[in-house]
Structure 1
């Protein structure tokens, strides 16, 4: 049993490592499929482990064994059948049993009934519960030794914020976080939500959405989403090759749904608004997205101002990937 449990622990640890690696490599497009696959792998391993433990304990066909036990303990019907006109092996009728003999047999049957065998099913269940408790304790111990990705990510990020004198602005994790964080930053640096007309021609529906924005912090994401979709549609040759679905369907999701934003959207935002986007990663790296040509912007102070800072989390938030805005501390 110890060898089997040791192998089970090793297989569980190996599977956890595989699951962690799969989830790290997931993108927003493949996350749901990978999560389903990881759940299936965990379920299959748990079922196989339980089956192997049951086989080692000799628990196969348990319901049939219990039924046979019940028959052997409560076999009154069988005894009644045996008492119906039995004959000896030589064909002669058996002698009738005397009252004393019958009384003795009845006493013996009563004694046998009163001293039932131990309930083997209860014993097996208790043993199985003890083994499962031991496995849970082992899993908890192994989990405590695993890397605290959430804690490490937060610690590294806060160190970078302090070094660069940045202050984090919490954004609601609702699927719009990337666009909300950008809207917050555009307002912070004084650019506003409407991009330069020389960089992009906005659709009438986009202009209408901008006019209905209450505040950049509250629902500014609506305007940024529409500008992003328009820019991608207008420069489809630069983006279409990286999409996993038709261009019209992709841009419609960006504009009208809570579809998460990623690398393509960051590129479109940087170019549409003519800003540099610095994204601080959980490992301390800073990814820089350039706006391309900045026609008409010659003043160096203006260029330094047109910088958007974002914090990108992979582990800290329960719903998955998340962006917060970052502002310079006074």
Structure 2
């Protein structure tokens, strides 16, 4: 009867683990919903993402329960082995865990391959192709920038080095962007609103907004692009796949335009900026520290 008790305990522990994981998933889903609250495009992506996460978790839980019963069948009795029967090779628990991980890895690789096929005509590839076509007409190509919250500032830093042979690190760009917005509060306040209430920012919220530009890796958008263009006194061109092919800032300034790309679908539930370079150029190294 000890074998049955052990199997029962394992199943109970597994069920507790599954309940905890379901709660964690629901908390994660709620946080994703907050991010996509006011964006219809994100909401569509989020619905598919939630369905995928729930399906994956449900399938994994079923497999774990099935595996638990295979490893410790509830009706197994101790002492039922016939001593005259030849000894059967027992598979250790460590070996079973290895086989399980290998099986999961094979399934994961298969899912990746299927996802890649689905993405061929998905929004990300469609967007990237559209941007590439626009850039080719300009004899340019995308210069990839890491997705770490600094993508706008890193893209601008790369462009300044490429177009003006000047090195301005990301931290300095953030500091000067924040300073310029603060000093021209009356110009920017009418275009700034609270992300949840959509109300105009209070004075305190405005100060907090400017402080976050310096102290965090908060993502930069149209407000920051306008401030960057004005403080650098140079035009900035943003290439995108939908809407106008390009958005111009600082056309009143002279000099070559800093050309970056805007991607709505580059990463799940988040926008992204890349830089550009001439088609025939190799990768341009620059210091963003």
| TM-score w.r.t. length of structure 2 | 0.52
Counterpart of 1:71 in structure 2 is 79
What is the alpha-carbon distance in structure 2 between the residues aligned to residue 44 and residue 118 of structure 1? 35
Which residue of 1 is the match for residue 151 of structure 2?
177
Distance 2:222 2:181 in 1: 12
1:142 pairs, out of 95, 114, 118, with 114
Residue 237 of structure 1 corresponds to: 189
Distance 2:58 2:278 in 1: 47
1:46 partnered with 2:59: yes
In the alignment of these two chains, the number of paired residues is 222
Contact 2:134–2:245 under 8 Å retained in 1? no
Gaps of 5+ in 1: 1-18, 74-111, 191-214
Matched, 1:263 2:222: yes
Counterparts of 2:112 and 2:50, CA distance in 1:
23
Deviation at 1:288, TM superposition (A): 0.7
Cα 1:121/1:64, change in 2 over 3 Å: farther
- Does 2:197 correspond to 1:223? no
Residue segments in structure 2 that go unaligned for 5+ positions in a row: 1-28, 282-289
1:115 paired to 2:117: no
Closer, same or farther: CA 271–155 of 1 in aligned 2, 3 Å: same
Specify the alignment match of 1:159 in structure 2. Answer: 133
Seen in structure 2, the aligned counterparts of structure 1 residues 179 and 45 have a Cα distance that, compared at 3 Å, is: same
Q: Deviations over 1:51-74 (max 9, x none)?
A: 68x3xx9949944322x2x2333x
Shift of 1:163: 0.5
Query: 1:90 matched to which residue of 2?
Result: none
Deviation for aligned residue 1:229? 0.7
The 1:155–1:118 alpha-carbon spacing in structure 2 relative to 1, beyond 3 Å, is: same
- Give distance in 2, aligned partners of 1:119 and 1:188: 66
Which of 1 and 2 has greater Rg? Answer: 1
The 5 A counterparts of 1:69-108 are: 70-73=78-81
Equivalent in the alignment of 2:4: none
Structure with the bigger RCO (C-alpha within 8 Å, sep 6+) is: 2
